[in-house]
Amino acid sequence: MGVKSASEIINNSMTEEDPNKNIQYSEGAAAQKPRWGPEHAGAKELASKYTRGKRLQETVCLFISIILLVFNFICLVWYFDSSHWHMILLCALLGILTADFASGLVHWGADTWGTVELPIIGSGFIRPFREHHIDPTSITRHDFIETNGDNFAVCIPVMAYCAYQFLFLPREAIPASYNWMMYLFLLCVFVSLTNQCHKWSHTYFGLPWYIKLLQDLHLVLPRRHHRIHHVSPHETYYCITTGWLNYPLELIGFWSTLEVIIESLTGSKPRSDDMAWASKTS
């Protein structure tokens, strides 16, 4: 369920505002084994799988995506018609909603299905999601490239398409597709910023006042709101751009319905790999 009580949140998620590296220990017989945090056996193994090749891919994709974003921004400014300024607001709203839903879909898919052992996508894509559930504040120790490289990467095909349109469409044909390209541009801006918003939602120290204000206004993902997702077993509130869609999607049982359908068709158990990593003790 999307609505969690204060006690559920405290007992089943890591206390991220703890300044002492956010290490928490299990109760009972396994009391000396970290339950969450950077000293958890699974978290250390997953962090070690971040390779130089992955770093290079993130760096190159970030560089290419920024060039394409800047080029498309210049083209949009060049062809801007001030009489249609209100369309920018509509494109921005639709871009935010689309990015929020897309972030939820990707987040749900990577959290719920697949394994780290899968070729290419396992170590390159699923691994960070597994690490994040065991050590949620690891993202606050990642630099800009590691935090945002993959999000910028997925924007490259869309921004390349828009750049092609600006370069090769007849000049008189551009106004007819301008709003569509504005929407795609703003969508990519919000997608590229999604994991940065996610990082801020795990940052309890040193955030600028204006980021805290945006969180308080729920214009970016708030800390308290996202904490609900980190209540084990991480089965809800997957949208991480603004989180606006989390409650309505939970209300209609969107993710749980998809899981029932997929499990009935494939026999795969949701979050089985995620729980296996969380259970590692050595």
- What lies within 8 Å, CB to CB, of 34 at 6+ separation is 23, 24, 25, 26, 40, 41, 43
pLDDT for 231 equals 86
Q: Answer yes or no: is pLDDT of 7 > 80.
A: no
Bridge partners of 24, per DSSP, are: 36
* Share above pLDDT 90 across residues of the chain, in percent, rounded to a whole number: 69
Residue 2 tokens read as 């999307």
Would you call 159 exposed, middle or buried from its count of C-beta atoms within 10 A (0-12, 13-18, 19+)? buried
pTM of the model: 0.87
Q: Answer yes or no: is pLDDT of 55 > 90.
A: yes
Residue 206 falls in which region: left (phi positive, over 0), alpha (psi -120 to 50) or beta: left
Q: Which of 13-17, 23-27, 51-55, 238-242 has the lowest mean pLDDT?
A: 23-27
Q: Answer yes or no: is pLDDT of 13 > 60.
A: no
Q: Answer yes or no: is pLDDT of 14 > 80.
A: no
pLDDT for 205 equals 85
Mean pLDDT of 184-207: 95
Q: Which of 146, 141, 109 is closest to 206 using CA atoms?
A: 141
Q: Which of 124, 125, 188, 186 is closest to 156 using CA atoms?
A: 188
∠ CA 96-101-106 to the nearest 5 degrees? 125
Q: Which of 255, 278, 282 is closest to 36 using CA atoms?
A: 278
Tally Cβ neighbours within 10 Å of residue 246.
Answer: 23
Q: Answer yes or no: is pLDDT of 274 > 50.
A: yes
Residue 198 tokens read as 């996610």
Mean pLDDT of 56-69: 98
Q: Answer yes or no: is pLDDT of 107 > 60.
A: yes
Bridge partners of 34, per DSSP, are: 25
Q: Residue 73 in 3-state DSSP?
A: helix
